[in-house]
Amino acid sequence: MASGIHFGRIPANAVHLCVDMQRLFAEDTAWRTPWMPRVLPVVVRLCERKAERTCFTRFIPARSPGEGRGTWRRYWERWSSITLDNLGADKVELLPELQTFTPPARVLDKAHYSPWVDTGLASALAAGHVDTLVVTGAETDMCVLATVLGAVDLGFRVVVVADALCSSSDQSHDALLALYHDRFGQQIETAQCDEVLDAWA
């Protein structure tokens, strides 16, 4: 299925889930995502129109190396420079351009790639009768991927804003957009920000 909005207008009560647009990924760290400045204006534009329907996620690293359950322990030993004790807690903040939208936008902190683990997000969306998510953010092939696939499993209609995603890898970014079209076309739509805004009631 080609890119575009294929399943009708986006309902008024849809939620814009903006994934991990944080200083941690924009500044000079081991996890810097070079594309982030390029997609930030697109994310800002969507937030300007839908701030009250926006939820920002923030990835919160472990406090110190060696914390975490199972393979996360090894992970935080490998990425010790990203732990809060070494990085500084200020780096988990949203980019300044996005902080201006909170409130009314909400912020959800998570300790994993997925926002669906130990956060209460699914039950909060169910309580608000939300069945459609508009997804932006970083990185296409890490936390955005976990967000999108978790949403698919939970039965949400997922609209991925292709020009509002960023990654450190052009190859995997392009591969995932193709995968969404080719294999997940009944559950995932990919579209440009202009198309999304035009379709969102």
Over the stretch 12-22, which tens digit does the pLDDT of each residue have? Answer: 999 999 999 99
Confidence of residue 182 (pLDDT cuts 50, 70, 90): confident
Check pLDDT > 80 for residue 142: yes
Q: What is the pLDDT of residue 18?
A: 98
> Left if phi > 0, otherwise alpha if psi is -120 to 50, otherwise beta: which for 39?
alpha
Asked whether the predicted pLDDT for residue 176 surpasses 90, the reply is no
Write the CA distances from 162 to 28, 90, 99, 150, integer angstroms: 25, 28, 22, 18
Homologous superfamily in CATH for domain 15-63+93-199: Isochorismatase-like (3.40.50.850)
> 20 near 58, Cβ under 8 Å?
yes
Kindly indicate the confidence band of residue 1, based on its pLDDT and cuts at 50, 70 and 90.
low
Q: Which two tokens stand for residue 156?
A: 């949400």
Separation of CA 23 from chain center: 14
**Residue 28 contacts by C-beta under 8 Å, 6 or more apart in sequence?**
none
